[in-house]
Structure formats: structure tokens, C-alpha cells
């Protein structure tokens, strides 16, 4: 069982993938490679940075502009440069899932995507869901949260998971939700909440 949070997901672009693609970063991907790429590709990619660059993101169906260095992650762009704070910064390196958002229909760790690289892809944050959406409501019904800091990420991970597994078994839920961590210990409630959300979303196109 693979969730869309699998780091190998084709559509999601990781920080490392971005650095490799741009030819910046480690010595292994040297300047020579960048040159060859430039020669091979007549329509050379626009080089942004190192200073702040204008970035336009499509968030919850609306274009949003900001100015940030190319090294700024989607998470920092959402939280610091804009004001979408449902996604939380916890591990900041793709382990805990507290920053989960949807990008181009897949759930991704916003801490592991560069904002500049998220341009042109529809991004959905938890703020894009109604307060009483079926997933959040199922979390409330099953008391699947305590301090609540992991919860928005859990909700968005559920959305991504259910998009691929609309009829999950309990075993599916245990596997598919494994990319998000909770410290208060709410997993028992989350298992039931995800199952209930799946049931209530039948026929509903979107969470």
C-alpha cells in the first residue's frame, strides 16, 4: 500500500529534486552539468535568485503573489510570507507530516517543496476546506485530536489518502496514514475518523 506521500511520487518535487534539477547544490552536480543542460535546451530555464524573486502561487483556487528567495520552502511561504498557518512547521524535513498540503491533486510535505517550484500547480491548504468539511468533522466526532498541532496535516493527509483509497479498510488506514506523527497520542481516534470520513464522502467529489 503506498500513499501519495511516498517520497518517490512522480508529481511531487522534493527539495533535493529541485536542487538537482537546477544544478545548484552539491559538488556532484557540478557547474558542468548546468552548462550542458543549458546547451541542450535552447529555451533555457529562467534563473532565479540568489536574491528575492517574485513568485505566484495558486492557492485554494486564487493566484497569490509574494516575493521570496528561491530557497524558501512552500511551508515558509505559506506561513511566514503569506498567512496560511493551518500547515504547521514541526520537523521541517519531511518526517512528521504536520505541513501536509495538496499540490496538483497529491498530498505533499510543504516543508520539502520549494515555493518557487510550486508555481503553476494548484495548491490546496486546509484553509481551502470549509470549517465543517467531512474530514475535519469526523476528526471532531472521534476526538481524534488533543493539542491539535498535527491535526491540520492529518486532515490534509486524509484527503490525499481518500482520493486514492475511497473505500479503505482499517489496515489501509494504518498504512496510508503512516506519514504523519502525533505526540498527544490520538491515533485510535484518527483511525475511526478516517473511516467515517470515507463513508461520509461517498458521492461527494471533494472534501
Partner 1 sequence: MANTPDYSWPPMADRKIIGKSFKRLDGQAKASGRAKYTSDLKMKDMLYAAYVLCPHGHARVTSIDTSAAEKVKGVQAVHVIAPAGTEVQWHGKEIAAVAATTEEIAREAIRMVKVDYEVMPHFVNEQDLGKAGSRGKAAGEKVTGDPEKAFQEAEAVSDGVYGIPVITHSCLEPHGCVIQWQGDQVMAWPSTQFVTGWANTLAPNLKVPAANIKVKMDYIGGGFGSKFSPGAWAEVGAILSQKAGGRPVKIYLDRVAEQTIAGNRPSAFGKIKIAGKKDGTITAWQSDTWASGGFAGGGQPPLPYVYNNIPNTRLNHTSISVNAGPSQAWRAPNNQQASFLTCSAIEDFAAKAGCDPMDVFNKNAGYTPRAEQYQYQLAKAAELSEWKKLWKPRDQRTGTMRRGLGIGVNAWAGNGHGCTARLTINSDGSVVLEMGTQDLGTGTRTIMTQVAAETLGLQMGQVKLVIGDNSLPPGGSSGGSTTVGGVSAATRKAGVNALGKLYEAAAPALGVQPEELEAVDGQIRVKSNHAKNMTWVAACKKIGPAGKISETGVNETRNPMGLFSGGAAGVQVADVSVDIETGLVKINRFVAVQDCGLVINPKLAESQVIGAIIMGISTALYEERIMDNATGRMMNPDLEFYKLAGIKDIGDIVVHMDIREVNDKRGVIGLGEPPAIGICAAVGNAVANAIGKRVPYMPMTPMHVLNALEGRNA
The residue ranges that bind partner 1 (CB under 8 A) are 68-69, 71-72, 76, 79-81, 83, 85-93, 95-96, 98, 125-127, 129-133, 136-137, 139-141, 143-152, 155, 173-175, 177-178, 180-191
Q: Name which of 88 and 165 has its Cβ closer to partner 1.
A: 88
- Dihedral Cα 23, 29, 35, 41, nearest 10 deg: -60
From the CB of 35, what's the least distance to partner 1, in Å?
28
Q: Name which of 44 and 140 has its Cβ closer to partner 1.
A: 140
Question: How many residues in the chain?
Answer: 207
- Number of helices (H), then strands (E), belonging to the chain: the values are 7, 5
Q: What is the DSSP letter of 114?
A: B
Q: Name which of 13 and 87 has its Cβ closer to partner 1.
A: 87
Q: Which three cell numbers stand for residue 167?
A: 473505500
From the CB of 76, what's the least distance to partner 1, in Å?
6
Q: Name which of 30 and 50 has its Cβ closer to partner 1.
A: 50
> In terms of Cα–Cα distance, which of 148, 156, 44 is closest to 97?
156
From the CB of 204, what's the least distance to partner 1, in Å?
16
Handedness of CA 24, 27, 28, 30 (dihedral sign): positive
Give the C-alpha separation, 123 to 66, whole Å: 15
From the CB of 63, what's the least distance to partner 1, in Å?
20
From the CB of 40, what's the least distance to partner 1, in Å?
32
Please, which residues have CB within 8 angstroms of residue 134's CB and are 6 or more apart in sequence?
A: 197, 200, 201, 204, 207
Cα angle 127-146-206, degrees, rounded to a multiple of 5: 35
Q: Name which of 37 and 80 has its Cβ closer to partner 1.
A: 80
From the CB of 102, what's the least distance to partner 1, in Å?
13
Q: Name which of 59 and 126 has its Cβ closer to partner 1.
A: 126
Amino acid at each position: 500500500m503506498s500513499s501519495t506521500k511516498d517520497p518517490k511520487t512522480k508529481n511531487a518535487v522534493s527539495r533535493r529534486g529541485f536542487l538537482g534539477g537546477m544544478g545548484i547544490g552539491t559538488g556532484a552536480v557540478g557547474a558542468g552539468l548546468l552548462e550542458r543542460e543549458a546547451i541542450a535546451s535552447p529555451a533555457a530555464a529562467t534563473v532565479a535568485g540568489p536574491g528575492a524573486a517574485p513568485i505566484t502561487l495558486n492557492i485554494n483556487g486564487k493566484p497569490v503573489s509574494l516575493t521570496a528567495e528561491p530557497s524558501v520552502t512552500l511551508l515558509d511561504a505559506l506561513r511566514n510570507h503569506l498567512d496560511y498557518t493551518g500547515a504547521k512547521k514541526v520537523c521541517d524535513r519531511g518526517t512528521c507530516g504536520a505541513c501536509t498540503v495538496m499540490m496538483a491533486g497529491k498530498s505533499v510535505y510543504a516543508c520539502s517543496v520549494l515555493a518557487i517550484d510550486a508555481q503553476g500547480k494548484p495548491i490546496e491548504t486546509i484553509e481551502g476546506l470549509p470549517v465543517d468539511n467531512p474530514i475535519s468533522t469526523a476528526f471532531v466526532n472521534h476526538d481524534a485530536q488533543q493539542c491539535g498541532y498535527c491535526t491540520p496535516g492529518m486532515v490534509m493527509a486524509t484527503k490525499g489518502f481518500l482520493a486514492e483509497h475511497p473505500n479503505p479498510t482499517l489496515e489501509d488506514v494504518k498504512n496510508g496514514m503512516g506519514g504523519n506523527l502525533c505526540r498527544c497520542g490520538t491515533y485510535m481516534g484518527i483511525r475511526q475518523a478516517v473511516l467515517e470520513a470515507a463513508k461520509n464522502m461517498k458521492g461527494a467529489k471533494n472534501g
